[in-house]
Amino acid sequence: MENTTHPPAMISLKNVSCVFGSEKNPVHALRSVSFDIKAGEFFGLLGPSGSGKTTSLRVIAGFVQPNEGAVFLNGQDVTNVPPNKRQVNTVFQDYALFPHMTVGENVGYGLMVRGIKGDGANRQIEDALKLVRLSALIDRKPAELSGGQRQRVALARALVLKPLVLLLDEPLGALDLKLREQLQHELKLLHHETGVTFVFVTHDQHEAFSLCDRIGVFHEGGLAQIGTPQELYHRPNSEFVANFVGNCNFVNYRQANGQLLRYSIRPENCHLGGEGGAQMVGIVREIQYFGANYRLIIDPSGLEAASLAEIGHIEGKRSLLQVDVPQSLALGSKVYIHWDKNHLHNFPQDNFIDVEVN
């Protein structure tokens, strides 16, 4: 008989809640959060400041004890296990390197704490530095390194201990855009080469999308949605997710029976055209240039439902539109906006929230 059992998740949070502050003024950092991360996965924790993503990471690391719920690592309950007893290492945004130690000494610090010395330790340090392509800098001090090199030393120091899970707490946040993009590529290579489970915290949607196999989107201490980048972008389960993981327009259609239907549509699926068949008429209030494309901010001045007349009329706010802008287009121009109804995404009524489109 075929064995249909599945290996346990590398990380599982089961109904985890964390409350900080006083009894009179509690702060619910996490509200009954549950999710699984598979072995070898590159998993992202994405959300705005205060949403619960970093608290989740700290719970996995053992730095924060949950008020309720349980944490499992490779099938074992580690809820009450201290951080130094978990097979988990963390890379922080500030890297936390010892300034008086060389690169090699920094990478080998954890080995020294564990009593691993001599040739065995040296081989592991060399292997870790090869992984991050810093072998030639083994004798330098952190002050002699660039920001990107310091980040890679921190990665080597975490990986030399061969953890089951590597936790990355916004490790690219202090770097400039070009260096961030370069290190995103290196992180993907490192993940592929090691096979270690990576858990990556960020508030940057583009960073999460470029790196992660799956992403958990956090909102006000809860988990709003988990999915692949493609699922989150094309099939968000709420207006919050749709608005957070990319620019989005929201339009309301009211049926003849009074029922309100709420849809989202991405700016790249909106197009300028002639008057015939336009779903929206608007006035251009702002033109933003992004190199590869322009983005228009449009105030609806008249609303139609030409191709979707059976649904009702659109109740519009400010809308975004990414287009190739004709040279004749200027602020104050009247424009006609078209979209294919197949690009509209409907939300369940209970997932409506008041989102201001900017």
Cα separation values, 327 from 268, 286, 287, 289, 324, Å? 19, 15, 12, 13, 9
Place 179 in a pLDDT band, splitting at 50, 70 and 90. confident
Average pLDDT over the chain, rounded to an integer: 84
Say how many CA atoms lie within 13 Å of 129 toward its Cβ.
22
Contacts of 193 (CB under 8 A, 6+ apart): 131
CATH 3.30.230.10 applies to domain 248-351? no
pLDDT of 204 over the 50 cut: yes
What's the confidence (pLDDT) of residue 228?
97
Residue 9: DSSP 8-state:
P
Q: Any idea which residue has 């939300």 for tokens? A: 347
Nearest to 62 by CA among 37, 92, 84: 84
The rounded distance, in Å, linking the Cα atoms of 255 and 290 is: 37
SS (H, E, C) 259-324: CEEEEEECHHHCEEECCCCCCEEEEEEEEEECCCCEEEEEEEEEECCCCCCCCCEEECCCEEEEEC
Question: In residues, how long is the chain?
Answer: 358
Q: Taking the domains of the chain in order of start, what are their residue ranges?
A: 11-234, 248-351
pTM: 0.85
Contacts of 29 (CB under 8 A, 6+ apart): 18, 19, 20, 52, 55, 221
Which tokens go with 40?
Answer: 């070898």
- pLDDT for 46-98, tens place per residue? 999 999 999 999 999 999 999 999 999 999 999 999 998 999 999 987 778 89
Place 167 in a pLDDT band, splitting at 50, 70 and 90. very high
- pLDDT for 115-164, tens place per residue? 888 888 899 999 999 988 899 999 999 999 988 888 889 999 999 989 99
What's the confidence (pLDDT) of residue 87?
92
pLDDT of 312 over the 50 cut: no
Contacts of 302 (CB under 8 A, 6+ apart): 281, 282
> How is domain 11-234 classified at the CATH fold level?
Rossmann fold (3.40.50)
Strand boundaries in the chain, DSSP class E: 11-21, 26-37, 42-46, 68-73, 76-77, 88-91, 165-169, 197-202, 214-219, 222-227, 249-254, 260-265, 271-273, 280-289, 294-303, 313-315, 319-323, 334-338, 345-346
